[in-house]
Structure 1
Amino acid sequence: MTYLFKAVLVLSVIWASSASPALAFDVTGMDVMEVVKKANHVSYYKGDDGRAKVNMRIIDSQGRERAREFVILRKDNDQAGDEQIDGGQKFYVYFNKPADVKKMVFMVIKNMDRDDDRWLYLPALDLVKRIAASDERTSFVGSHFYYEDVSGRGINEDNHEMVEENDNFYVVKSTPKDPKSVEFSTYKSWIHKATFLPVKTEYYDEQGQKIRSYTALKVEKVSGHPTVTSASMEDNRSGGKTLMDYSAVKYDVGLPDEIFSERYLRKAPIKYLR
């Protein structure tokens, strides 16, 4: 059984067992931008804020593994919360393990009108490093996920085309408006029709060869929100992949704005990280 089929089965069970009017989308007559907006909203804007513990396993082409454990905090700006006007966000990622990255912090201020602001705090050097926009599609802490994968890619950075529709999925092909800024030529997203969760994304080069693959391996319902709780990113050229498992997921935590500031890069908000 493929990972994609497993994800469809889990989503179908979730939807059939606990569908609610608040989550039911009207799919009649939707165009591709409506689908993309809803998928972006469902993926990144659950509740006003959120918190999750993450266990990351980085596996190279030889099967060797490295592990990372961290907590992700997310808070939406005031204009967020409606899929028609999703706005800026803040992300705070605090590393607990292994020892060589303990207390490291990655923080993102996601802007709608300019490049996102990103910082990385390296406790061993007591150094705060700004991450340039040109680095957002580079490896996130040595994994097969990129920095941009953590906070999401802006939907207006690409042109979108509906290339397939079946009983379970919308399949959307996206092409970057600025191809020189990215390493891929196009990517396809399989968006589950009932929940609007993207359960698979494949990135292709100019020759049409698949170079990276994202797969949602497990989906659960958390506080009424369909939520990916296990996912993988594979490098189809090297054979390596990274697995991420999410636990203790919670929405509408009540995170204060001030923790998403440079001050808290060195002084972690322990209350919200336990």
Structure 2
Amino acid sequence: MKYAVTLSVLTALLVAGPADGQNTDAADIARQAERIATYQGDDGRARVAMEIIDKQGRTRMRNVTILRKDDLANNVETGDQRFFVYFHAPSDVRDTVFMVWKRQVSDDDRWLYLPALDLVRRIAAGDERSSFVGSDFYYEDVSGRSAEEDTHLLQDTTDTYFVLKSAPKDPSQVEFAYFVSYIHKESYLPVQIEYYQSDGTKYREYTAEAVETIQGYPTVTRATMKDVLDGGQTTLTYSQIEYDIGLSEDIFTERYLRNPPRQYLGED
């Protein structure tokens, strides 16, 4: 497998990993990978440049800010999260907002605010595996997929990776038959995920192309999702990443869809 992370990034991954012995239980590895990928700090903020290249090679750009807050009960994380994605550019999507309440024991709630129509649209659970604003990422990719939604098999262990094969517990809710994840053994960060159809055809591929340690957390700073069948791809480049900034829960409510918290968006 080709691994595009540079030597400096690999060094960052190695020094950021857990000091204790490594876990070889597939389900536990998947849970740890989910935690590392989506639960860094109690909250976070990042600016994201999205480059969408279609199969004809035409390029579109999007510029967004992502805010995230983990839910706590008695100062203990519940596993639930809230996401607020604000679109800065281009002008035709400016002020569009995508919001998610991610839940561990029930369906996630998702909203999309369309400023041109002044319309808040609820996104049905069945639409979470559809394209996010015309990109090669899906709505579910933005907030992350719960490890509890799949069964996991440790398919291989290399010097660098745990290789997991994961299949959905409810195949009717997803378009893939299974996916294969390459999880860095030291950091537990998923660095490549390959999605397969029932006939064994690979049709999507996620790659973490750059990683940095930010505030002590291994953090993906550039990632690409490829449509293997038609040749399109979307690359996300992250900047201005911060953790534990003290975001209020009020931000992640419907009233902020129309009045976004500009002090956290770099527009105050």
Q: TM class, shorter-chain normalised?
A: over 0.9
SS in structure 2 at match of 1:118: strand
Partner of 1:42: helix, strand, or coil?
helix
Counterpart of 2:101, as a letter, is I
Which residue in the other structure is 1:270 paired with? 262
Partner of 1:112: 104
Partner in structure 2 of residue 7 of structure 1 = 5
When the two chains are superposed, the root-mean-square deviation of aligned CA atoms in Å is 1.7
Deviation, 1:80, is 10
* 2:150 aligned partner: 158
- 4+ aligned runs moved over 4 Å, structure 1: 79-82
Q: Does 1:258 align with 2:256?
A: no
- Contact 1:80 1:88 (C-alpha < 8 Å) held by counterparts: no
Residue in 2 that maps onto 1:41: 35
Q: CA–CA distance in 2 between the matches of 1:34 and 1:10?
A: 28
1:122-172 Cα shifts (integer Å, max 9, x gaps) = 000000000000000000000000000000111111110000001100000
Residue 230 (structure 1) aligned with residue 230 (structure 2): no
CA distance in 1: counterparts of 2:37 and 2:222, whole angstroms:
13
**Contact 1:10 / 1:218 at 8 angstroms: preserved in 2?**
no
Tell me whether 1:31 sits opposite 2:25 in the alignment. Answer: yes
Quote the residue 1:176 is aligned against.
168
Q: 1:238 to 1:268 in 2, by over 3 A?
A: same
Instruction: Give the gaps of 5 or more residues in structure 2.
Output: none
1:241 equivalent to 2:239? Answer no
Distance in 2 between residues matched to 1:81 and 1:124, nearest whole Å: 40
- SS in structure 1 at match of 2:92: helix
Question: How far apart in 1 are the matches of 2:73 and 2:156?
Answer: 32
Matches within 5 A, 1:100-139: 100-139=92-131
Higher deviation after alignment, 70-79 or 29-38: 29-38
Looking at structure 2, the residues matched to 58 and 81 of structure 1 have their Cα atoms a distance apart, in angstroms, of 39
Please say if 1:51 is aligned against 2:51.
Answer: no
Q: How far apart, CA to CA, are the structure 2 residues paired with 1:45 and 1:80?
A: 17
One-letter identity of the residue aligned with 2:182 = W
Aligned to 1:193: 185
Alpha-carbon deviations, 1:7-64, whole Å to 9, x = none? 2734421145xx36xx524334531112111101000000000000000000011110
Unmatched tracts of structure 1, length 5 or more: none
Q: Distance in 2 between matches of 1:62 and 1:272?
A: 36
TM-score, normalization: structure 1?
0.93
Return the alpha-carbon distance in structure 2 between the equivalents of residues 250 and 25 of structure 1. 24
Deviates more, 1:195-204 or 1:73-82: 73-82
- Report Cα offsets for 1:164-189 as digits up to 9, x if no partner: 00110000000011111111101000
Residues 162, 185 of structure 2: 8 Å contact kept: yes
Q: 1:86 to 1:172 in 2, by over 3 A?
A: farther
Residue 90 (1) aligns with residue 82 (2): yes
Residue matched to 1:147: 139
Q: Secondary structure at the match of 1:87?
A: strand
1:62 pairs, out of 53, 56, 60, with: 56
